[in-house]
Amino acid sequence: MNYWLMKTEPTTYGIDDLVKQGTTPWEGVRNYQARNFMRDEMKIGDKVLFYHSNATPPGIVGLAEVCKESYPDYFAWDPDSKYFDPKSPKDNPRWMMVDVKFVEKFKDIISLDDLRTYPELSDMVVLKKGSRLSIQPVTKAQYNFITSQRIIKEE
């Protein structure tokens, strides 16, 4: 079992979109390191911290889970998609993705500023300066600590 943090811009695809859809392909990752995590390491049932970047404030807004293991990012084949990439042809796909499913939405965001206040999280990749990786490994301890801090949304 592995633990991850996955970034998304809420104006593009936020936690509320995942609430509505239930599951989604994680398309559009165009970074080799992030792709390798999806292709080589993400397994069904892996736990995901759902992170809003370019948001006010940025932070972790909920939980998700890997529900389909890696397969070609077919958005790369669609000339009308903003993720179209002619260097990723069908017979030799360069980009892979997984599907994730909604698990829960926090009542309150755990903001980036909040995360910084916990010594338990000082080694988190997302807190490192200049950390742009959109899919990051998280330790079990970090994951457990964060989930112990959260308040689950009451509907």
Partner DNA sequence: GCCAACGTTGGC
Q: Is 130 in the site for DNA (CB under 7 A)?
A: yes
Closest approach of DNA to the CB of residue 13, in Å: 12
Instruction: Answer yes or no: are the C-beta atoms of 84 and 75 closer than 8 Å.
Output: yes
Q: Is 129 in the site for DNA (CB under 7 A)?
A: yes
Q: What would the two tokens of residue 128 be?
A: 């490192």
# chain residues binding DNA, by CB under 7 A: 21
Q: Is 32 in the site for DNA (CB under 7 A)?
A: yes
Which is nearer to DNA, 53 or 139 (by Cβ)?
53
Residues 45 and 8: their CA atoms lie apart, in Å, by 20
Among 10, 13, 30, 67, binds DNA (CB under 7 A): 30
Peptide bond into 119 cis (omega under 30): no
State the binding string over 36-65 for DNA (x if CB under 7 A, else -).
Answer: -----------------xxx-xx-------
Applying CB under 7 A, which part among 18-26, 28-36, 60-68, 117-125 lies near DNA? 28-36
Q: Is 113 in the site for DNA (CB under 7 A)?
A: yes
Applying CB under 7 A, which part among 27-35, 38-46, 96-104, 138-146 lies near DNA? 27-35
Q: Is 112 in the site for DNA (CB under 7 A)?
A: yes
Which positions touch DNA (CB under 7 A)?
Answer: 7, 9, 30-33, 53-55, 57-58, 87, 112-113, 128-134
